[in-house]
Structure 1
Amino acid sequence: MNKIPRRVVTGIQDGKSVIVEDQQIENAIEHFPGLIISDIWSTQKTPASLDSEIKILNTAFPQTPKNGTYFRYVVIPPDKNLGIDWKENEPHPMMHQTLTLDYIIILSGELYLIMEEGETLLKPGDIVIQRGTNHAWSNRSDEPCIQLAVLIDAEVKE
């Protein structure tokens, strides 16, 4: 399994800032071959509490709490390693929607963001602002793509 970066958590002890935790991420699961997700942190409300961490269940599709956030590290393998057989002019088999506002940063590799109409190639340093729309990720390269994502619960317009 890929080495997930370490997580450093800060806090306050005796009125001074301190490092509370400094260790490798332990919450990493390979949901599909090569698709590694680590749900790093979650908040349960806004404004967020700075006093506690709530352990979260690592899921393939995020379960962002109402009025909360999710912070996740995702390794997306090449499509061919996932066994995805996608034909142009058909919906991508991994098309999905989260009812969240997502801030996504591509750290390494490359990845196509596929929408119901159109797609774009993302490379390291690219940032995606995903606003609750249907989308899929397609890695057509030979290397994994690593992304960081912050998902924020959003209002759904009826």
Structure 2
Amino acid sequence: MNTIPRRIVTGIKNGKSTIIEDQQTENVVEHLPGLIISDIWNTQKMPAGLDLETRIPNTGFPQTPKNGTYFRYVVIPPDKDLGVEFKAGEPHPMMHQTQTLDYIVILSGKLHLIMEDGETLLQPGDIVIQRGTNHAWSNRSDEPCIQLAVLIDAEIQI
């Protein structure tokens, strides 16, 4: 399994800012072969509390807390390694919708963002603002794609 970058958490001790945790990320799960997800941090309310962390289960499809956030690191393997076949004119088999506003940054690799109407190729440095729409990710390359995502609970209006 890929090594997820270390996690550094700051806080206040004796009235001064300090590093309270500096270690490898522990919440890492390989949901499908090569699909590696680490839910790095979450908040349980807005405005966010800064005093503690509530550990969350690491799920393939996020379950963002009501009025909360998720910060996740995702490695998406090539479609062929997942056994995913996408046929033109049919919905992508990994199409899904989350009840969140997502800020996503592609760190490495290439990935197609597929919508019900259209798609686009994402490359390192690209930023996606995913606004609670039905979507899928398709890695048609030979290399994994790594993305960082912040998911914010949202009111979806359809």
Q: Pick the TM interval, shorter chain.
A: over 0.9
Give the residue type in structure 1 aligned to 2:87.
K
SS of 1:19's partner is strand
Is 1:38 the counterpart of 2:42? The answer is no
Distance in 2 (CA, whole Å) between partners of 1:63 and 1:99 is 9
Give the Cα separation in 2 of the matches to 1:65 and 1:54: 11
TM-score normalised according to structure 1 size? 0.99
Counterpart amino acid of residue 80 in structure 1: K
Deviation at 1:157, TM superposition (A): 2.0
Q: What letter matches 1:149 in structure 2? A: A
* 2:30 counterpart SS class: strand
Distance 2:108 2:157 in 1: 34
Residue in structure 1 matched with residue 28 of structure 2 by the alignment: 28
Partner of 2:53: 53
**In structure 2, what is the equivalent of residue 80 of structure 1?**
80
**Structure 2 partner of 1:98:** 98
Shift of 1:59: 0.3
Q: Secondary structure at the match of 1:8?
A: strand
Return the alpha-carbon distance in structure 2 between the equivalents of residues 80 and 130 of structure 1. 25
**What does residue 134 of structure 1 align with?**
134
Offset from partner CA, 1:27-85 (integer Å, 9 cap, x none): 10000000000001010000000000001100000000110000000000000000001
Aligned to 1:155: 155
What code does the residue aligned with 2:26 have?
Answer: E
Aligned position for 1:121: 121
Residue ranges of structure 1 left out of the alignment (5+ in a row): none
The answer on 1:112 being equivalent to 2:112 is: yes
Query: Which residue does 1:16 correspond to in 2?
Result: 16
CA distance in 1, matches of 2:25, 2:154: 27
Q: Structure 2 CA distance, aligned partners of 1:155 and 1:85?
A: 32
Query: Shift of the alpha carbon at 1:125?
Result: 0.3
Q: Segments of 4+ in structure 1 off by > 2 A?
A: none
Q: What residue number does 1:62 align with?
A: 62
Q: Distance in 2 between matches of 1:120 and 1:127?
A: 12
> When the two structures are aligned, how many residues end up with a matched partner?
158
What secondary structure is seen at the aligned counterpart in 1 of 2:75? Answer: strand
User: SS in structure 2 opposite 1:80?
Assistant: helix
Q: Aligned residues: percent identity?
A: 79
- Structure 2 gaps of 5+ residues are none
Structure 1 position 156, deviation (Å): 2.2
Aligned partner letter, 1:66: K
Q: Distance in 2 between matches of 1:56 and 1:41?
A: 8
